[in-house]
Structure 1
Amino acid sequence: MTDTTPSSASAGTGTPADPGSALPHIHAQPDGPSPSRPSNASRSAQPEPYGPPGVLERLGSAAFARINRRREWHELPTPLGLLNLRFLRDDLRRENLHDTYCAGGERPRRAPASLPPFRTYDGSAYDPHDEDMGRAGTRLDRNAPLHLAFPESDDELMSPSPREVSRRLLARRSFVPAPTLNLLAAAWIQFENHGWANHGDNEQAEPFTVPLAEDDDWAGECPMRVNRTRPDTVAHTAPEAPPTYENTLTHWWDGSQVYGSSEERCRSLRTGELGHLVVADGRLPADPRPGMSCLDATGMNSDYWAGLSLLHTLFAKEHNAICDHLHSHYPTWGDERLFHTARLVNCALMAKIHTVEWTPGILDTPVLHRAMNANWYGVLPHWVRRKYGRVGRGEMLSGILGSPTDHHAAPFSMTEEFVSAYRLHPLVPDELTLRDHRSGRRGETIGFDDMQGATTRSVIDAHGMSDLFYSFGTANPGALVLHNHPDSLRDLTRLTGEHVDLGTVDILRDRERGIPRYNAYRQMLRKRPVTSFEELTGGHPTDTPLLEELYEGRLDRVDTLVGNLVEPRPAGFGFSDSLFRIFILMASRRLKSDRFFTTDYRPEIYTPEGLEWIDRNGMTRVLLRHHPELAPALDGVTNVFAPWRNL
């Protein structure tokens, strides 16, 4: 069907102009490697690098650096804390974005033939000077300076044994809940992370060999074998460059977990009519691949479980609702235009939920509530933007949305340190008590293995989405602390038959991919290094000697994951301040580098109705649109990621 535009449409009236000939330029890219895929070598640095700080920036940065020697940002009064975060974020933007493509000199770049008015299937053509920036199959970059990103030798990678770190420091002794959150918060972050980065299938040849202690009760093969990360397919041109790895997904905040990272995958999920995704009887279809019918057919279903199924299905339904809303206003639009416009709106709504609901939920302090709202809305009251539009071009007054695009110190991409920051497996409980969404009555308790992998769709069939949503909403995830890594993930059999301890894998992956160990990690993020194990643990009477023994008294060997789990944290924080610094850099960068959140966040692209949909909706309204039966459970709940009402 040919797309046509209502006769009233024009850029001048605020109605979206017909993209017309731009639509054929939305590039297709089949799944997997292809001779037609541009090589990594074609990507380049940003044409105008982030400039040096001005006088005020230098003075502010120096002043807060001095203050932070005695008092951290979270110990300051709220207005000063917000200002401290502003200068810290600018410092991080300037000094902690490193392009792995440019270790041997600048690469040639290729400008796209056109800038499509919609998100492309494979993430290409977002930048006017660099077609491949953020594209699926391009490299993950670094927050750490490249000289800190080299992995150690294989022998050093085993020191101390990652399995012993898993057994003695990570293994869950008893479940420690995060009482201010519900289990949807754990499912949400995996749902979002599945749209940001994936290293692809691991290398089968020459796996790591992890020795086991004599008293180890590991049920798998001995020694434990862990496959290496799939290496970058493009050879380095500079011997001083550290190893690099490809992201098999698009780097952008574009909902690729729902829509896929290729045209082939995306079209397989669509009905071909009215822009809709395939949803039948309230369910996503089963994955048609051999042996995968236990999973949903969706954009990304690796490491899949019931929590992901709930959210993937919910936002596929939301996409279709947006399509129907747009169709009611633009009845002559065809399938392609409805699909792409609805995708823009759905992705922006997910980004808004993450920014102003999930993040303040897990970082529950007044400073962070204001800071994340300022990222999205700016510091002016919300009604000002609604009535008058943006005030100025900067981020502070009216937020990032609609401000100029800026990649800062490097071309946009996800980073290895950002991937590492999302090793949040303690959030997962080992079991879930099912509850009736009408009465609140408790039912059976099921284990995590009963709702992941091969049992994912069957648990939805058995219990229904309404009861599962309510069960998730009233259950706590685990706290992000030592000794709270779920047993089910430390003894996990994947669909492939691979038997793994994800605690061991988490530690080994950071070491393999050159994530600096904890004290070096702190220093690169402008935190002073800890000087003793007592300081590291806050003087914990049992963890202090345990860490000192395991790391043989060497603070420089403490793993970043361990340090982040044990580090004393600000009041209300669900994770460490060190980890938070990666987030304050990358959370705003995902918005600021994306033209669909900056220069192209406008009615001509989204439609006025699409922008209104984003502005008026949040996670509660999304849930109630598709599951109105949950209204009693959500009555009075101010954040959907906090515990729901007990009925």
Structure 2
Amino acid sequence: MPSSTPPVLPSPSVRARRATLPFGLGGFGLTGLGLAGLALVGIALAGMASAAEARSRRASPDQRIGRSRSERAALAGAHRRDAHRRDRRPRWQRDFRTIDGSFNHPGDPGAGAVGARLLRWGGSDYADGASEMAGAARPSARTVSNLVHAQDAPRPNALGASDYLWQWGQFLDHDLDLTGGADPVEPAPIAVPIGDPHFDPFATGTAQIDFDRSIYDGATGVASPREQVDEITAWIDASNVYGSDAERARALRADDGSGRLRTSAGDLLPFNDAGLPNAGGSDDASLFLAGDVRANEQVGLAAMHTLFVREHNRIVDELAARHRGWRGDRVYEKARQLVGALMQAITYREFLPALLGPNALAPYTGYDPGLEPGIANVFATAAYRFGHSALSPVLQRLDANGDPIAYGPLALRDAFFAPERIVDEGGIEPILRGLAAQRCQRVDAYVVDDVRNFLFGPPGAGGFDLASLNVQRGRDHGLPSYNAARVAFGLAPAADFDDVTSDPALAARLAAAYASVDDVDLWTGGLAEDAVDGAHLGPLFHRIVVMQFQELRDGDRFWYERALEPDEVAWANASRLSDVIRRNTAIGDELPDNVFQPEVGASARPR
């Protein structure tokens, strides 16, 4: 039975809150599960593509999101220019986050802001110590993909987790990190083994998977190791809903002064008729526009974006009715704050317990300004890409009775850059029901063909290999090897492949791919580990993910349990993701209370 309905909004708060910490000191400085790196690669083969497939292919990664050369250059050193900036917004507005994530840390305005460096946990491993890609002596990333990551049968997880495990993970990732391509472009193509059945079927021996290296801080890479930068805010602040820059934030807002966000017919996301940067092409007005450029990557993600735009507008309407003297800007900021609180509460009270186990994180004890806030490279480029192995090859689309809709289920390979699947095939409700009804794949070394061979289309027509991308991206970013990372995070190194996994068949796959266990790439080795009891991740990735989410929480001055009134905190804590879905869609009691672990039930959520 559904849980009792939480209050729709907290009772009105009449006491204004003011920042109590000074600003103006110091200076500081794709990513995760959310398929973030997908916009950065292509296949060097000719072929024809459907309209949806063609959207995903552009000559360079930067054209894929439509960012200009000057914009990319500005991002590459943004954190260094923040050291002496001051927050010049009106005093009332300083109670809320900036749109670009700046002025959160009292002594470091650029920490966690757009353009900040990814944090270097566990050291770097560039071939020349500074910038040359790691792994020159290792096998091609495609060889690793074929030998280790190929999945030949369904492997549903044993913990009862639904597809919401990876879907929320992707949606959340797009609130945390985005690393685009370097300028000028630095090609680092992935060699395809001769006779590869998908990418070299005619055994030419010349096929490649195109790959470009990531944007990095230009002050690094010579005297010090190259450090990549984050193109969006690092905080859990719903930047994926509202944007990480002023231009995008303005374009998403309704122009009626209400504080609402724009929508299109059917209360769906607006379309990108303004030509803003967008994965799939800034010139494609048939694609949705959202706070993050990747919203169209697959329809489940677009459904989540739509849901939280509706929640914002619902909150705006209630706030406006309660506070008739508030201007639209104040209503917008308060609604943005409350939506950000929902993102945080759902992540820490539902998603992370489902992923990591119920008590993996230490209890919240308050803000710690001594932490270095930001996103760690090993998190964004390896550990948080765990979700790529959890992806299901088919998205279920169900009606209120739990039956498939007339259009049927949707193959994941047909869901990429396909907003018409939402506009013309029943809206977001069938997708949101389907995500709860199907177990996700096991988090392990195996990746379904829909993203390992057919990501964004068939080979030669837009398709490429996400597993290869992840391995190559780790080498691009100079991540430590699997064994080096284990040592850095306080774990014993593996002496042989049998130490990585208890599965003899998987150990044999690793041995076939790598000459030595010391050569194993971080993403590959981390996924190959046996999961921690009650969790989906092995010891290494579990440790990295726990550290990252504890520091994101404890290093955030605007954390909801600190920044909001007690009744507002109680409202956020009472709101499950299922509640957000029910109050913004036609979905009712057919949805389980705990959408992340429907088979486990409400008891899986900490109280």
TM-score (norm 1): 0.73
- Code of the residue aligned with 1:230 in structure 2: it is S
Partner of 2:578: 620
Q: 1:488-527 to 2 correspondence within 5 Å?
A: 488-493=451-456, 498-527=462-491
CA distances 1:274-296 after superposition (whole Å, capped 9, x unpaired): 21111343211222235433432
Q: Secondary structure at the match of 2:397?
A: strand
RMSD, aligned α-carbons: 3.3
The correspondence for 2:136, drawn from 140, 157, 166, is 157
CA distances 1:597-642 after superposition (whole Å, capped 9, x unpaired): 1795143xxxx664443233221211111135331332xx4x2112
Distance apart, 1:160 and its partner CA: 1.3
CA distance, structure 1, for counterparts of residue 210 and residue 486 of structure 2:
28
Partner of 1:346: 339
Q: 1:21-420 to 2 correspondence within 5 Å?
A: 33=70, 39-40=77-78, 42=80, 109-113=84-88, 116-145=94-123, 150=129, 153=132, 156-157=135-136, 159-179=138-158, 180-201=160-181, 205-219=185-199, 222-236=206-220, 239-272=222-255, 273-280=257-264, 281-288=266-273, 289=275, 291-302=283-294, 304-363=297-356, 368-372=357-361, 375=363, 399-400=364-365, 403-408=366-371, 411-420=372-381
CA distances 1:141-178 after superposition (whole Å, capped 9, x unpaired): 21123578957855833611111111111122112112
Distance apart, 1:582 and its partner CA: 1.0
Partner of 1:52: none
Q: Considering fraction of residues, name the structure with more helix.
A: 1
Distance apart, 1:417 and its partner CA: 0.9
Distance 1:615 1:481, change over 3 A: closer
- Code of the residue aligned with 1:177 in structure 2: it is P
- Code of the residue aligned with 1:161 in structure 2: it is S
Q: Which runs of no fewer than 5 residues in structure 2 stay unpaired?
A: 1-11, 25-65, 276-281, 602-607
CA distances 1:362-399 after superposition (whole Å, capped 9, x unpaired): 23xxxx31344x63xxxxxxxxxxxxxxxxxxxxxxx2
Distance 1:200 1:206, change over 3 A: closer
- Code of the residue aligned with 1:283 in structure 2: it is L
Distance apart, 1:228 and its partner CA: 2.3
Q: Which moves more between the two structures, 148-157 or 324-333?
A: 148-157
Q: Does 1:573 align with 2:573?
A: no
CA distance, structure 1, for counterparts of residue 74 and residue 431 of structure 2:
43
Q: Does 1:436 align with 2:360?
A: no
Distance apart, 1:213 and its partner CA: 2.2
CA distance, structure 2, for counterparts of residue 204 and residue 485 of structure 1:
33
CA distance, structure 2, for counterparts of residue 219 and residue 36 of structure 1:
37
CA distance, structure 2, for counterparts of residue 324 and residue 204 of structure 1:
46
Q: Which one scores higher on RCO, CA 8 angstroms, separation ≥ 6?
A: 2
Q: Does 1:17 align with 2:6?
A: no
The correspondence for 2:551, drawn from 589, 604, 619, is 589
CA distance, structure 2, for counterparts of residue 412 and residue 347 of structure 1:
17
Q: Which runs of no fewer than 5 residues in structure 1 stay unpaired?
A: 1-12, 45-107, 376-398
The structure that has the greater radius of gyration is: 1
- Code of the residue aligned with 1:212 in structure 2: it is V
- Code of the residue aligned with 1:462 in structure 2: it is E
Q: Secondary structure at the match of 1:344?
A: helix
- Code of the residue aligned with 1:565 in structure 2: it is L
Q: Secondary structure at the match of 1:523?
A: helix
Distance 1:334 1:598, change over 3 A: closer
Distance apart, 1:206 and its partner CA: 4.5
Q: 1:444-459 to 2 correspondence within 5 Å?
A: 444-453=408-417, 455-459=418-422
List 4+ stretches of structure 1 deviating above 6 A. Answer: 35-38, 494-497
Q: Secondary structure at the match of 1:629?
A: coil
TM-score (norm 2): 0.78
Q: Secondary structure at the match of 1:298?
A: coil
- Code of the residue aligned with 1:183 in structure 2: it is D
CA distance, structure 2, for counterparts of residue 239 and residue 38 of structure 1:
15
Distance apart, 1:490 and its partner CA: 2.6
Distance apart, 1:225 and its partner CA: 3.7
Partner of 2:56: none
Partner of 1:529: 493
Q: Secondary structure at the match of 2:188?
A: strand
Distance apart, 1:37 and its partner CA: 7.5
CA distance, structure 2, for counterparts of residue 38 and residue 157 of structure 1:
26
Distance 1:596 1:19, change over 3 A: closer
Distance 1:358 1:267, change over 3 A: same
CA distance, structure 2, for counterparts of residue 234 and residue 191 of structure 1:
29
CA distance, structure 2, for counterparts of residue 18 and residue 438 of structure 1:
46
Q: Which moves more between the two structures, 480-489 or 316-325?
A: 480-489
